[in-house]
């Protein structure tokens, strides 16, 4: 891999991160998404000196929604 292709790869990753950051900022304003991470089934363990959080149900919901969206987009592009 030469430096030119490595530079392009870093540039594309940076652009993708900027777009992802913008999308996350927009999603933070949606009222229903504020409960994501506090759903029943999300495990929170708190001790005296530590806390640990496992958002199991939230990640399952996000995975289903992303799979659905990607499936719809790919079906539309294949037509």
Q: What is the pLDDT along the chain (79 residues), one digit of tens a residue?
A: 789 999 999 999 999 999 999 888 887 787 777 777 788 889 999 999 999 999 999 899 889 989 999 999 899 988 7
Q: Quick one: pLDDT at residue 52?
A: 92
Tokens of 16: 């993708």
Say what the pLDDT of residue 64 is.
Answer: 95
Tokens of 36: 């994501």
Handedness of CA 52, 61, 20, 6 (dihedral sign): positive
Predicted pLDDT of residue 38: 81
Residue 63's pLDDT is: 94
Dist. CA 72–CA 66, nearest whole Å: 10
What ranges do the domains of the chain cover? 1-35, 36-79
Distance CA 1, CA 34 (A): 43
pTM of the model: 0.59
The CA–CA distances, whole Å, from 67 to 21, 47, 70, 78 equal 20, 35, 5, 16
């Amino acid at each position: 891999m030469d430096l030119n292709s490595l530079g392009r790869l870093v540039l594309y990753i940076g652009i993708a991160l900027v777009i992802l950051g913008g999308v996350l900022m927009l999603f933070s304003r949606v009222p229903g998404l504020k409960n994501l991470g506090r759903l029943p089934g999300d495990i929170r363990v708190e001790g005296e000196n530590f806390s640990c959080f496992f958002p199991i149900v939230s990640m399952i919901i996000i995975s289903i929604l992303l799979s659905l969206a990607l499936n719809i987009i790919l079906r539309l592009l294949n037509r």
